[in-house]
Amino acid sequence: MFSDSVHTQPQAYAAVEGASRAIGFSMPSDLQTGALLKALAASKPQSRILEIGTGTGLATSWLLDGMDMDSTLISIDNEASFQAIAAEALGHDRRLELICTDAAEWLETQSDTFDLIFADAWPGKYANLDCTLNALKPGGVYVIDDMLPQPNWPAGHQANVDALVAQLEQRPDVTPVKLAWSTGIMLVVKK
């Protein structure tokens, strides 16, 4: 009845995917994660969304595809050559603000709050977790992927994942759920 196949993709997805392949980008979010991000963005009308780790903009395209016209998305990455692909394909969308900076520093100094945060980079996921969750509004959703073993994980990375999951499960200010789907998703809702 159910399958992991995703039948529709954002309009800009093919262009971003082609450009990503052309430069050998090896850290893309998969289609199932994208479809989930689209649905979560659609569930938060008039929202402020934060993506930590733009990469080339594959997940960004899914978030934008789910957002209504009154929502905004800030997407941060420190690699200008990757983010340039996102800017080329998605930069015309007035709801999107691309910031090329160190996400750890940005998280430590910003005071905005968000309805949805997708953390797909070391900062916001394995570092600066308190700042990231402090930026989440009550009822907001924090999403992380790649919680199941991946072929591109460096040696010893499972310990990082285990520590992060344990930390999220012990926090009294959030309600987490682990999904053994896609690359391993964790949804965390702020109380």
CATH of the domain at 25: 3.40.50.150
In a domain, 186, yes or no: yes
62 contacts 37 by C-beta, under 8 angstroms: yes
Q: What mean pLDDT is reported for the chain?
A: 94
Average pLDDT score over residue span 12-31: 86
pLDDT at 14 over 50: yes
pLDDT at 148 over 70: yes
Give, as one character, the DSSP assignment of residue 12: T
Q: What is the pLDDT of residue 3?
A: 64
Q: What is the pLDDT of residue 1?
A: 47
Q: Name the residue with higher pLDDT: 181 or 168.
A: 168
Q: What is the pLDDT of residue 2?
A: 62
Q: What is the pLDDT of residue 27?
A: 73
In a domain, 3, yes or no: no
Q: What is the pLDDT of residue 133?
A: 98
Domains in the chain, number: 1
In a domain, 181, yes or no: yes
In a domain, 4, yes or no: no
Please state the separation of Cα 112 from the chain's center in Å: 17
pLDDT at 147 over 60: yes
Average pLDDT score over residue span 151-180: 96
**128 Ramachandran zone, left/alpha/beta (phi>0; psi -120 to 50):** left
Instruction: Name the packing angle between helices 13-22 and 58-66 (round to 10°).
Output: 170
42-62 pLDDT, tens per residue? 999 999 999 999 999 999 999
Q: What is the CB-side half-sphere exposure of residue 59 using CA atoms within 13 A?
A: 31
Average pLDDT score over residue span 1-30: 82
Q: Which amino acid is at 24?
A: G
In a domain, 155, yes or no: yes
In a domain, 154, yes or no: yes
3-state helix, strand, coil in the chain (%, to 5): 35, 25, 40
- The two three-digit tokens of residue 163, written as one number: 């520590």
Domain that holds residue 103: 13-190
Q: Which amino acid is at 105?
A: E
Question: pTM for this structure?
Answer: 0.95
Q: How far apart are CA 136 and CA 132, in angstroms?
A: 7
